[in-house]
A and B are shown apart, each in its own frame.
Chain A
């Protein structure tokens, strides 16, 4: 059972803005930075956002991250068909059980 909770699905039409939430706790998001990963069907995940809101080289600026307290969000602006994928948040956790935790994942559908 993941300790980071995401909505199971989100959708939008091309060009729209879609936002995905990620709810955690003081031991993970509240203390450590959030990462976001994109997983296209049948492929390995790809890092989209690190340090809450930083994009690795090559990630379009349509993707943006934010954090407030124990929650974080990923926004996709100007939604494109190739953005249809699963998205996962993640963070290091200071509790004793799991050192790094992933969110439950959100399937984004482009209508």
Chain B
């Protein structure tokens, strides 16, 4: 069955970077886009961006432009999201999610990765 397994919790200091991985199982990795969504404590869902594992094409929410990268390693069916120049406002649970079908994000979700930014 389709599974997305994310890397564990991370603690970073302000100004640092964090890279979250999303290992996928149970489907052809290059056939479905991966989106990244975050949720700050007690807050709603916030879309960060998408990546095509096939082409490597990406698209990001404007607020993250310039400090986010999304990459993939097709040989190990893993997607990555790296966020730079962290501040306390980046403390959140970060989710990867596979499209249900093209254009429908969030058909399958990872378990989430807590990133805490604290001095």
Chain A residues near B (Cβ < 8 Å): 2, 33, 35, 37, 39, 44-47, 50-51, 56, 86, 88, 90, 92, 96-105
Distance between Cα atoms of A100 and B48 in the complex (Å): 8
Q: Nearest chain A CB to B61's CB is how many angstroms away?
A: 5
A47 and B100 form a contact (CB under 8 A): yes
For A2, what are the chain B residues with a Cβ–Cβ distance below 8 Å? Answer: 44
Most buried by A among B37, B46, B49, B104: B104
A46–chain B nearest beta-carbon distance, Å = 7
**Contact of B44 with A44 in the complex, beta carbons under 8 Å:** no
- With contacts A44-B95, A97-B61, A100-B50 taken as known, whether A92 is within 8 angstroms of B103 at the C-beta atoms is yes
Residues of B within 8 A of A97 (CB): 61-62
Distance in angstroms from A96 CB to nearest chain B CB is: 7
B14 on the A face (CB < 8 A):
no
Indicate if the CB atoms of A35 and B106 lie closer than 8 Å: yes
B56 at the interface (CB under 8 A from A): no
- Residues A100 and B110 in contact, CB atoms below 8 Å apart: no
Which residue of A has the minimal Cβ distance to B103? A92
Closest to B60 in A: A99
